[in-house]
Chains A and B, each alone.
Chain A
Amino acid sequence: MDEVLVADDVRKEYDDTVAVDGVSLSVGTGEVFGLIGPNGAGKTTLVRALTGTTRAEGTIRVFGGDPEDADEQRVSLLPQSFSPPARLTARELVAYYGGLYDDSRDPDAVLADVGLSDAADTWYENLSGGQQRRVCVGVSLVNDPDVLFLDEPTTGIDPAGRRSLWSLIEGLAAGGTTVFLTSHSMAEVERLSDRVGLLADGKLVAVGTPDSLVAEYGGESRLVVRPERSPESAAEALSDASRGFDLIVDGDELLFRNVAPTDIGPAVDALESAGIEYDALTWKQPDLEDVYLHLTGDEFGVSERPTTTAVADAADGANDADDTDTDTDTDTDTLGAGAPAGSGGDR
C-alpha cells in the first residue's frame, strides 16, 4: 500500500498553546484512519496541517509532496462546523463547489449518494441539521477525491442517516479512497476505521487497529446486574453459588468481571440459584470508548459510573458487537497488509 499521507514530528503552536505536539503517522491508499480525542486535543489543527490550510513545524507529505502543492482535484475536506451559503439549494451548493474543479460529479448523483435527492431544490437554511450536514458531505465528494478529510462528518445526523453515510464511506474506501476521519462517535470510528489514532493534549498517544487498541487498553468484559436487594447482600448470597465468578460491588450494581459470552448463562443460573431477583442485567464488551476513556484519563472510576450509563453502554455494546464483527472482517481484509510500514504501534 502506498503512503498517501505522512506526518513526521508535526508540531503546531498558537501563542503559548501547543495544539499539536510531535505527531507522526502515515496513512495508506484506501485506508480509513480514524482520529479520536477530547475536545481541544488538536484534531482539527492536525487536519488543517495535513490539508495545508495551516502551517506547522515538522514534515507533512500528501502524495509525496507539500500539502499546499497537492493536486486539489485529488483532495477534499469537510471542515468541522462547515456552513456553506445558506440561501442556495442543495443542488446549487453541490454544483457550485463542483464548478471549482476541473472534473466534478453530477450534483444529482452526489445528492443521491447522501440520500438527499428529495431535498435537492430546498435552500440549505431550510434543511434540518442532519440534512445540512449531509449536503456538506456531498460537497466534499463532488470532486471524487483520492484523499478525503472528514472532520466530524456525522454530527447532527440521525442514526439512519449516519449509518447510510457510514456505508457510503466504506464504499469509498473500498474503491481506493483514503479517508482521514475525526469523530467523537466511537461507534463510528470503530466501525469505519482500519486504524485509529488517539490524540490527547496534542500528542498521539496510541495508534492501532480498533481490535488491537481494545485488546490492549479496553479492559475486561463484564456482566452488570442491578439486584432488587442491596448489592452487598446479593454478593454475599452469591458467595457460595458464584462458581468462581470474579464479583465486585459497584454502587447499586453487582459486576461479574471477565465474563465471556458463554459465561452469561452460568452467571444467570448462579443468580437464580441464589434467589437473587434483579431489575436489569447487561453484558458489556470492552470497546473503543473504554480505550478512549482509559488513555485520555477521563475514565470514570467504576463506582462513579452512572447506573444509566452502564445500561446505555450495554445497549451500545450490543450495537458495537455488530459493528465489531464488521470491523473484524475489515481488519482481516485490509489491516494485515494495509498498515503502512512503520506506521503502526503506539506513538
Chain B
Amino acid sequence: MTATGRVSAEFGAAWNSFLRRRTAVFFTFFFPVILVLIFGALVQTQPTGGGLFAEPQAYYIPGYLATVVLFTPLSRVGSEIARHREGNRFEKLATTPLSRTEWMLAQTLVNVVVIGLAALLILALMVLVTGAEIPLSPGILLLIPFVVLGVTVFCGLGSVLGSIADSQDGVIAASNTVALPLLFLSETFVTPELLPDWFGPIVNLSPLTYFSRGVRALTYEGAGLTDPTVLTNLGVVAALAVVFFVAGAYAIPRTD
C-alpha cells in the first residue's frame, strides 16, 4: 500500500466518522451561519459611525471565514486526538505502516473539505443575506490556498493542544482559550485603529493576522493574482502551515 493509499484509508474513516456524528455536522455549519445572521444581517454595519462593525460588510469576510478556519480545526483535531488516546488507537496505529505525518495529512484533508464547504456557505450568505460586494477577479481563486493553508496551520495547532490536554474536555477548554483571543486580535472583526498602538506588534504574532490581511485584500480590496500584499501574506501563511503541520505531526502521541 502506498502512502496515498494509507492516507486515503485514514481519510475515509475520518470522513465517515465525521459525517455520522450528526450534531457535529450540524453545528459545524450552523456556527458560521448564525454568526453571519447575527452580525451581518441583524446587527449590520454602520459605515458612517465608529466602533465595531463600522466598515462595509465585505470588510468582515476574513473574520467570518476565520471563525471556521480557526475554531473548527482546533477543536476537531484536538478532540480526535483525545478520542484516539482514550481508545488506545494511536497504540494500534503505531504498529501499522501509517506514519504520524500521513495521519496528520488525512485529518487535515478532512478539515479542508469540511471547512471549504463552510467557507462557501459563508461567502454565499454574505452576498445573499448581507449584500456584501465581493470583487470578482482572477485573484479570488487565491482564497482556496488561503483556506487550505489556514486550515493546515490550525490543524497543526489543534494536534499540539490535543497532545498536551489529557481529555476531550481539556481540549475544548484549551482550544477556546487559544481561539477567542486570536479571533478578535488578528485584524478580523476589530480594525487595527481600534487597538492601542503598542498592541500592533502583538497582532503580528498571530498566524490568523496574515490570513485576514491576505483574504481581505482579495475579497474587499479586489487584489489580483500578483498583488504583493496577497502574495506576501500567502507566503507567511504557507510557511506557518509547514511549521505547524510538522509540529502537529511530531506531537501526535504513540502511547505514553
Contact = CB atoms under 8 A, between A and B. Distances in A.
Interface string A58-92: 00000000000000110111111111111110001
Contact of A79 (B8, B16, B21, B91): B91
A54 B89 CA distance: 14
Contacts of A77: 91-92, 95
Contact of A83 (B13, B20, B89, B256): B89
B87 interface: yes
B12 A99 contact: yes
Nearest to B20: A87
A20 to B, nearest CB: 13
A88 B254 contact: no
B94 interface: yes
B177 interface: no
B9 interface: yes
B20 A99 contact: no
B91 A53 contact: yes
Contacts of A53: 91, 94-95, 254-255
Of A83, A104, A123, most B-chain CB atoms within 10 Å: A83
Q: Contact residue range for chain A?
A: 35 or more
B9 A88 contact: no
Of B5, B21, B87, most A-chain CB atoms within 10 Å: B87
B226 interface: no
Contact of B88 (A75, A79, A87): A79
A96 B94 contact: no
Given A54-B256, A82-B92, A92 B13 contact: yes
A92 B16 contact: yes
Contacts, number: 94
Contacts of A97: 9, 92, 96
Contacts of A86: 17
A85 B97 contact: no
B227 to A, nearest CB: 42
Of A76, A87, A88, most B-chain CB atoms within 10 Å: A87
A251 interface: no
Contact of B1 (A52, A87, A101, A149): A101
Contact of A100 (B6, B254, B256): B6
Interface in B1-57: 1, 5-6, 8-10, 12-14, 16-17, 20-21
Nearest to A99: B9
B251 interface: no
Contacts of A72: 95-97
A48 interface: yes
A143 B17 CA distance: 23
A96 B9 contact: yes
B98 interface: yes
Interface residues of B, number: 28
A102 interface: yes
B1 A102 contact: yes
B86 interface: yes
Given A48-B255, A54-B255, A84 B95 contact: no
Nearest to B98: A100
A51 B88 CA distance: 14
Contacts of A96: 9-10, 12-13
Contacts of A48: 91, 255
Given A87-B21, A101-B96, A82 B9 contact: no
Given A88-B13, A99-B6, A82 B94 contact: no
A87 B16 contact: yes
B23 to A, nearest CB: 12
A290 B17 CA distance: 46
Contacts of B96: 72, 97, 100-101, 143
A149 B88 CA distance: 14
Contacts of A99: 1, 5-6, 8-10, 12
A99 B96 CA distance: 10
A174 B121 CA distance: 58
Contacts of B20: 87-88, 123
A100 B88 contact: no
A283 to B, nearest CB: 41
Contacts of A104: 1
A100 B92 CA distance: 11
A75 B95 contact: yes
A102 B17 contact: no
A83 B86 contact: yes
B13 A85 contact: yes
Given A54-B255, A75-B95, A100-B10, A88 B87 contact: no
Given A53-B254, A73-B97, A77-B95, A82 B87 contact: yes
Given A77-B91, A85-B17, A102 B255 contact: no
A77 B1 CA distance: 19
6 contacts: A54-B254, A72-B95, A81-B88, A83-B86, A85-B17, A143-B96
The 4 closest A-B pairs by CB, nearest first: A99-B9, A83-B87, A87-B20, A79-B88
Given A83-B89, A93-B13, A100-B9, 17 more contacts: A51-B91, A53-B91, A53-B94, A54-B255, A72-B96, A75-B95, A77-B91, A79-B88, A81-B87, A83-B86, A83-B88, A85-B89, A92-B16, A98-B9, A99-B5, A102-B1, A123-B20
